[in-house]
Chain A
Amino acid sequence: MLLALIILLPFIGVLLPVWFHRHGRTACAWATALPPALGLVLLFSQAPAVLAGEVRRFSLNWIPELGLNLAFRLDGLSFLFCLLILAIGLLVILYGRYYLSSDDPMGKFFALLLLFMGAMLGVVTANNLLLLVLFWEATSLSSFLLISYWNGRSDARRGARMALTVTGAGGLAMLAGVLLLGHVVGSFDLDVVLASGELIREHAWYPVILVLILLGIFTKSAQFPFHFWLPHAMSAPTPVSSYLHSATMVKAGVFLLARLYPALSGTELWFILVSMVGLITMTLGAVTALFKHDLKGLLAYSTISHLGLVTLLFGLDTRLAVVAALFHIMNHATFKASLFMAVGIVDHETGTRDMRLLSGLRKYMPMTAMLGLIAAGAMAGVPLLNGFLSTEMFLGEAVAQRVLGGWSWVIPVVAVFAKVFSVAYSIRFIHSVFYGPSQPEALPKPPHEAPFFMRAPILILVGLCLLVGIVPNLIIGPLLAAAATTTLASPLPYYSLAIWHGWNLPLLMSMVAMVLGTVAYLNFARLLRLWERLPAVNAMDAFENFVHDVVIVRARQVTGRLENGSLQHYLSLLILGTVVVAASGLWGLERLNGGVPLSALDPPSVAIALIMMVTAIYSAIWHHERIAALMFLSVVGLGMALIFARFSAPDLALTQLSVEIVTIVLLMLILFLLPPRSPNDSTYAHVVRDGLVATSAGIGVGVLAYTVLTRPQQTISDYFIQNSVTGGGGTNVVNVILVDFRGFDTFGEITVMAIAAIGIFGLLDGMRLFDPKKDPNVQWASDKYPLLLLILNMPVLPLALMVAVYIFLRGHNMPGGGFIAGLIVAIALILQYLANGLRWSNNRMQWDYHPLVGAGVLLAGLTGLGSWSFGAPFLTSAHDHFHIPLLGEIELATAMLFDIGVFLAVVGATLLILANLGKLKSLDTASEENR
């Protein structure tokens, strides 16, 4: 529990700085320091046990079935890292308090810092690989937000994006690797994974797992060829650079190398990959660092180089190399964090970090100069400082290893080469900033010493460098031993943390490097000229160009080909695709004919079919002549009605007939507003293409229908015929199906009608069209309101209403019903409009049609709901016989109420559409009436 608390404390405390921000900056810093300080106390309370080799565990179920638990472990390795994270974190908070200016939102900064701290603690203590990945992503993210803390600056935004892109991609690779690893081992529990090294290394997936996880590690720890993000992350405030990008976050990668060492290491592949990447990174970083003029740029490349050194050590095949790696991780964290802080002071008090401007600052900030000198000495590996000890160990192992077989001598040689540059840039760092002639006038701000509390963290860290350098065993002996024991998962090899090991090869190599490094610095100007002759690559630009090219240009090419904005293009693709798919399915059939004999052809059917085919073709050919095309189309529709009648479906025939009339009339009204011909703008090739597409689709549907219809089938329709009277109270099966068996469908469909009406109402709103240019060759009737139509029309309405009532009432037993009745009324009303003009009709029918439509659907719905009050399912119908005076015996079913709803909805929707089509032309009508 205590263990979980250490990790949770920073998360719990995230809001502290935000809250205390209003009480001043010092209060804010104190509040922020509280969680890590407490955490440190808790950590030390565990120290005796952990240093004695115990492993403290804590576990809480999260999603156990997924193998994801909130499991933490505190062993030597995680203790070492927790200590670094918490202690340096505290120092950075103190430093940050004085570093941030009063304009910077401090609460936000410290909150993010705590968030990062918690995530980082999670990474190093997670005892479950999935949990580790989770925290890993969280560190990338909080780092992203911290780098871009000054988000008004474009370099900060770009640097942050690049860092997140690179580490995020690596994180995903790692997630894949961890998934594979978990699949191989059968658990994500770190205890199990670490114990299954043998199994993992012998598995066929091992190379893939290793490469994926290493991708995660190398991106995070800025190893070649992914190192380029780190220098650009330097646009972060210096406390962030010092904490995340030198002491802790970039160490997460090498931490994982140590953590998974027992599980993954020990193979040829591991040694080659890890050591080579480390070697290249170390050299590249050291060389580049020397030529950076920006102080933070120098430190960034130096960090890359030192991380490469650590990686290289993990890739060497001697067990002592691991001890050296862990030792160097600690040392690097102390001296590099203090160097960053020193640079921050220089930047803060002079306004620049450019070494070409800075000079002789020793006079103005003697204390900072002193501290910087010692820390840089540690970086260069000067004796009596901690960096010297781990460098010696490194050189010793570089000589001892046999990774490359006969070529193994390459590694120590390259190591010395990198060391030379490391010495040279350390000298440059100190000499060019603090020594030489002082020229304060060249600086943006007059230089002066920083406040004491800003220097205090550096003082502490530098003190540690010295102490470790002089009495290593006393200070970190047990800690290093505990960490190394965990990493190696076996008793430690013998090593001695002494300052003096006698005259030996590593010491000689060190001295050679020191001398050559000094020589290199003395010849810096010459080297710089050589360096500048190399082609300069700006990683940021290269990266962004790459992303732009891959993501945007290629993406446009790919999507542009498919998605070009043309509806014809989309439709032809869809139809062709469907045809191909259906055809490929049919290909597998032995034969299309399923065996049911075809019925004989009779003259009426053939005639209807021929008429429909011919008119359909004509409507396609004459589609530019809109009226003509519509006429042909209406013939097709009437043909459908005849087909329904021919195959004994009088209800459908009636419905089709009335629907056809309403649609055609409405379409005619619209066509009046459009130019009589549509422009001809398709090329001949297009016409051929579209013709082929349409024909193939038509043939396809025909073949499918033929295939299905010639197969024997049994359907549920017999049930409907049997139950229509007894269950639904009607002899017209079609109507009973519509209002009872499948009343829910009808209910949905009248809703569709209602929506269509509202939609058209909304669509036509505000649209005002003038009369289109009339074709002078077409003769228009001079009589606006033909007398014959007017007179004949008078009796039609009452007659139609009567017919509608009749059709409605008989519907349950004979062809008819609410839908058809509604359409009949609608047709009669349309006729009124046609005969008398829109204005006349609208004046006489000033209802609000929306509530009418609503009432129809509502009535249908309520009828259905009524059954609920009787405890029956929705839409359950009841029917009985009633005796009504004059009319006699009549059978009424509740379904009829439902049918009334249908009727109302149909009438309302049609009128709503009609009235609004009328409004479209009101401008024109008004002008006519005024004439």
Chain B
Amino acid sequence: MSTEVALPVFIPLLAGVLSLMLWRSRKWQRRLAVLATGLLLASTLWLLRSTLDQGYVVMQLGGWAAPFGITLVADLLSAVMAVITGLIGFAVALYSLGTIPDRHEKFGYYPLMHLLLAGVAGSFLTGDIFNLFVWFEVMLLASFALLTLGGERAQMEGAIKYVTLNLFSSALFLSAIGLTYGLTGTLNMADLAYKLSQVEHTGMVNVVALMFMISFGIKAAAFPLFFWLPASYHTPQVAVSALFAGLLTKVGVYALYRLFTLVFVGDTGYTHTILLWSAALTMLTGVLGAAAQFEFRRILSFHIVSQIGYIMLGLALFTPLALLGGVFYLVHNIIAKTNLFLISGLTYRLLGSYDLKKLGGVYRERPGIAILFLISALGLAGIPPLSGFFAKFLLIRAAVEIEAWMAVVVALTVSFMTLYSMIKIWAQVFWKPVPDAVDATRLRSRERDPGMFWLLTPIIGLAALVVLFGVWAEPLYQVARDAAEQLLNPAGYIEAVLGVTP
């Protein structure tokens, strides 16, 4: 029995409802947050270990054989994503201890955080398309609730755009599921893949595929469906922004990866060409949007969009190296991006603003924080020997190999503009002297701030990973390579779930 494939969903779910039961005791909610996310991380590592050994870890829920019940299944991609979920969850839980105001705790921050993680993990591990929808809903509602905690005006405005556009995506997703069920009579993704591989690929399948693509594209914030993201991500608490930035859009990308390597592979000339153009335009619009911004978190938000483009590029090019690069990029980007958001919260704590014009002097007063930022930012921009370099390099090399010149040019240009953007933040927040009107007593204060421990620990840890996955990239490279190999060979997945060889 493969307990480990269910644990990453159940641990946060149970932690969420336990926190609900402990509604009155915020102290225990806090303890539970650290404990449960720690356990989540451990369980996902167990899952990764098993996946590395066995290739696929499958659990047929309720004992009903696929395709009749719901299947939980982890291949390497799922397992890697689960580990990252655990990691980011743990980091954000620690960070939350030092940053989340009482008011937010009182209104269910911790239960919502756990349930959001459950939704994310569920999406990564389910093998059933309708069940995926359910976890998307869990995620959407939990994120909406987290987004509105605190109830400030800007939050509401962003949240309404967020929830409306995402509900549209959900409706589209559900319609596509209905149509798929009408066409194939099944909901299990492996079974779907099997059935679609048996019949001739008709135009109807392409229509459904495109509906899924649009729906997931909205979730992933791909061009031209990204509007909701920069409108909302800079409004909630930093810990929430960081959690969203790290995980939410990536679930959309994951779903694209899953469906367009497993199920809809009959007409890649059509579907993946659309993906390629969308990827390129996503990269460009994201980075252009960032250039015009002067708010720390808004800049980072636009870069999320741009980097989603890179990850989609890996899928669109659809070669072993490209998928490898995509998986590598996913892991790297989640870590680096989350960390940058966490750091934006750190400077906010010191100087009380996210506005670049009202920040400054951090390099002089706190060189350690400056170095942590520099590592994450340069990692994000793909400067060697940090993790981002290999991520970027693999994708560009994959594009060169199949002579996709447009992708090469766009990827290089965007990486350059990303660097420019990071340098803009660096110059404004870290180099520039503190502006006159800004109160910098907290920045200059030499007194120990005990809360800082909770902020710095996860930031240092994630920054260390950015360095580690660059300097010692080999292990991650091999995992990503094996994951890509599995993705290009859907027969293995189908066999693991259905027990038949297609």
Whether A854 pairs with B17 at a CB distance below 8 angstroms is: yes
The size of the chain A interface, using a CB distance under 8 A, is: 110
Whether B431 pairs with A151 at a CB distance below 8 angstroms is: yes
Q: Do A556 and B292 form a contact, CB below 8 Å, given A743-B61, A751-B118, A851-B23?
A: yes
Tell yes or no: B273 within 8 A of A by CB.
no
Whether A758 pairs with B111 at a CB distance below 8 angstroms is: yes
A707–B175 Cα gap in the complex (Å)?
A: 13
Interface segment, B35-43, B63-71, B493-501? B63-71
Q: Do A745 and B130 form a contact, CB below 8 Å, given A137-B383, A714-B185, A861-B13?
A: yes
Whether B481 pairs with A65 at a CB distance below 8 angstroms is: yes
In the complex, what residues of A have CB within 8 A of residue B20's CB? 754, 758, 850-851, 853-854, 857
Whether B181 pairs with A715 at a CB distance below 8 angstroms is: yes
Tell yes or no: B85 within 8 A of A by CB.
no
In the complex, what residues of B have CB within 8 A of residue A151's CB? 363-364, 431-432
Q: Do A176 and B69 form a contact, CB below 8 Å, given A589-B203, A701-B175, A745-B130?
A: no
- Could you give, for residues 849-872 of chain A, a 1 whenever the CB lies within 8 Å of some chain B CB and a 0 otherwise? 011011101100100010110011
Nearest A residue to B474, CB-CB:
A63
In the complex, what residues of B have CB within 8 A of residue A552's CB? 291-292
In the complex, what residues of A have CB within 8 A of residue B210's CB? 581-582, 585
Taking the closest CB of chain A, its distance from the CB of B345, in whole angstroms, is: 20
Tell yes or no: B419 within 8 A of A by CB.
yes
Whether B21 pairs with A567 at a CB distance below 8 angstroms is: no
Whether B164 pairs with A571 at a CB distance below 8 angstroms is: yes
Tell yes or no: A409 within 8 A of B by CB.
no
Tell yes or no: A551 within 8 A of B by CB.
yes
Whether A762 pairs with B108 at a CB distance below 8 angstroms is: yes
Q: Which of A762, A858, A865, A877 contacts B107 (CB 8 A)?
A: A762
* A684-738 interface with B by 8 A CB criterion: 701, 704-705, 707-709, 711, 713-717, 719-720, 723, 727
Taking the closest CB of chain A, its distance from the CB of B103, in whole angstroms, is: 8
Closest 4 CB pairs of A and B: A854-B20, A759-B145, A715-B185, A585-B207
Tell yes or no: A180 within 8 A of B by CB.
yes
Whether B207 pairs with A711 at a CB distance below 8 angstroms is: no
Q: Do A168 and B385 form a contact, CB below 8 Å, given A709-B182, A748-B135, A759-B148?
A: no
A589–B285 Cα gap in the complex (Å)?
A: 34
* A131-156 interface with B by 8 A CB criterion: 133-134, 137-138, 141, 144, 148, 151-152
Q: Which of B144, B148, B288, B473 contacts A554 (CB 8 A)?
A: B288
Taking the closest CB of chain B, its distance from the CB of A108, in whole angstroms, is: 7
Taking the closest CB of chain B, its distance from the CB of A514, in whole angstroms, is: 45
Tell yes or no: A876 within 8 A of B by CB.
yes
Taking the closest CB of chain A, its distance from the CB of B462, in whole angstroms, is: 21
Q: Which of B179, B291, B397 contacts A551 (CB 8 A)?
A: B291
Taking the closest CB of chain B, its distance from the CB of A31, in whole angstroms, is: 19
Nearest B residue to A868, CB-CB:
B3
- Could you give, for residues 121-137 of chain A, a 1 whenever the CB lies within 8 Å of some chain B CB and a 0 otherwise? 00000000010011001
Q: Which of A169, A547, A570 contacts B228 (CB 8 A)?
A: A570
Q: Do A589 and B204 form a contact, CB below 8 Å, given A65-B481, A555-B289, A873-B62?
A: yes
Tell yes or no: B131 within 8 A of A by CB.
yes
Taking the closest CB of chain B, its distance from the CB of A855, in whole angstroms, is: 6
Whether B151 pairs with A759 at a CB distance below 8 angstroms is: no
In the complex, what residues of B have CB within 8 A of residue A250's CB? none
A173–B411 Cα gap in the complex (Å)?
A: 11
- Could you give, for residues 154-189 of chain B, a 1 whenever the CB lies within 8 Å of some chain A CB and a 0 otherwise? 000000110011001000100100110111111100
Nearest A residue to B107, CB-CB:
A762
Whether A758 pairs with B179 at a CB distance below 8 angstroms is: no
Nearest A residue to B134, CB-CB:
A748
- Could you give, for residues 404-437 of chain A, a 1 whenever the CB lies within 8 Å of some chain B CB and a 0 otherwise? 0000000000000000000000000000000000
Whether B18 pairs with A571 at a CB distance below 8 angstroms is: no
Q: Do A559 and B115 form a contact, CB below 8 Å, given A63-B477, A577-B224, A853-B20?
A: no
Tell yes or no: A776 within 8 A of B by CB.
no
Nearest A residue to B118, CB-CB:
A751
Whether B141 pairs with A713 at a CB distance below 8 angstroms is: no
- Could you give, for residues 540-555 of chain A, a 1 whenever the CB lies within 8 Å of some chain B CB and a 0 otherwise? 0000000100011011
Tell yes or no: A756 within 8 A of B by CB.
yes
Provide a sorted-by-A list of 20 A–B residue pairs whose CB atoms are within 8 angstroms.
A63-B473, A144-B423, A151-B432, A152-B433, A164-B423, A176-B400, A176-B408, A555-B291, A562-B224, A562-B227, A577-B225, A585-B203, A717-B185, A742-B131, A748-B135, A749-B137, A756-B145, A759-B144, A873-B62, A874-B10
Taking the closest CB of chain A, its distance from the CB of B431, in whole angstroms, is: 4
Q: Which residues of B come within 8 Å of A, CB atoms?
A: 1, 3, 6, 10, 13-14, 16-21, 23-24, 59-64, 67-70, 72, 107-108, 111-112, 115, 118, 122, 130-131, 134-135, 137-138, 141-142, 144-145, 148-149, 151, 160-161, 164-165, 168, 172, 175, 178-179, 181-187, 202-204, 206-207, 210-211, 214, 218, 224-225, 227-228, 230-231, 285, 288-289, 291-292, 363-364, 367, 378, 383-385, 389-390, 393-394, 396-397, 400-401, 408, 412, 415-417, 419-420, 423, 427, 431-433, 473-474, 477, 481
Whether A704 pairs with B207 at a CB distance below 8 angstroms is: yes
Whether B108 pairs with A761 at a CB distance below 8 angstroms is: yes
Taking the closest CB of chain A, its distance from the CB of B119, in whole angstroms, is: 8
Tell yes or no: A66 within 8 A of B by CB.
yes
Whether A555 pairs with B292 at a CB distance below 8 angstroms is: yes
Taking the closest CB of chain B, its distance from the CB of A751, in whole angstroms, is: 5
* A746-789 interface with B by 8 A CB criterion: 748-749, 751-752, 754-756, 758-759, 761-763, 765-767
Taking the closest CB of chain A, its distance from the CB of B473, in whole angstroms, is: 6
Nearest A residue to B397, CB-CB:
A179
Whether B62 pairs with A876 at a CB distance below 8 angstroms is: yes
Q: Which of B61, B68, B412, B423 contacts A874 (CB 8 A)?
A: B61
Q: Which of B61, B182, B473 contacts A708 (CB 8 A)?
A: B182
Q: Which of A141, A175, A763 contacts B378 (CB 8 A)?
A: A141
Tell yes or no: A644 within 8 A of B by CB.
no
Tell yes or no: A161 within 8 A of B by CB.
yes
Nearest A residue to B165, CB-CB:
A570
Whether A563 pairs with B68 at a CB distance below 8 angstroms is: no
Whether A874 pairs with B62 at a CB distance below 8 angstroms is: yes
Q: Which of A62, A559, A854 contacts B288 (CB 8 A)?
A: A559
A773–B14 Cα gap in the complex (Å)?
A: 46
Q: Do A574 and B165 form a contact, CB below 8 Å, given A137-B384, A762-B107, A865-B10?
A: yes
In the complex, what residues of A have CB within 8 A of residue B68's CB? 716, 719-720, 723, 741
Tell yes or no: A46 within 8 A of B by CB.
no
Whether A172 pairs with B412 at a CB distance below 8 angstroms is: yes
Taking the closest CB of chain A, its distance from the CB of B235, in whole angstroms, is: 14
Taking the closest CB of chain B, its distance from the CB of A142, in whole angstroms, is: 11
Whether B230 pairs with A766 at a CB distance below 8 angstroms is: no
Nearest A residue to B420, CB-CB:
A165
A587–B206 Cα gap in the complex (Å)?
A: 11
Whether A875 pairs with B62 at a CB distance below 8 angstroms is: yes
Taking the closest CB of chain B, its distance from the CB of A534, in whole angstroms, is: 31
In the complex, what residues of B have CB within 8 A of residue A745's CB? 70, 130-131, 134
A917–B132 Cα gap in the complex (Å)?
A: 32
In the complex, what residues of A have CB within 8 A of residue B288's CB? 551, 554-555, 558-559
A555–B424 Cα gap in the complex (Å)?
A: 16
Q: Which of A66, A575, A741 contacts B168 (CB 8 A)?
A: A575
In the complex, what residues of B have CB within 8 A of residue A767's CB? 151
In the complex, what residues of B have CB within 8 A of residue A605's CB? none
In the complex, what residues of A have CB within 8 A of residue B6's CB? 873-874
Taking the closest CB of chain B, its distance from the CB of A59, in whole angstroms, is: 15
Nearest A residue to B421, CB-CB:
A551
Taking the closest CB of chain A, its distance from the CB of B130, in whole angstroms, is: 6
A865–B13 Cα gap in the complex (Å)?
A: 12
Whether B61 pairs with A854 at a CB distance below 8 angstroms is: no
In the complex, what residues of B have CB within 8 A of residue A189's CB? none
Whether A744 pairs with B61 at a CB distance below 8 angstroms is: yes
A854–B473 Cα gap in the complex (Å)?
A: 43
Nearest A residue to B385, CB-CB:
A134
A562–B227 Cα gap in the complex (Å)?
A: 8
Whether A751 pairs with B60 at a CB distance below 8 angstroms is: no
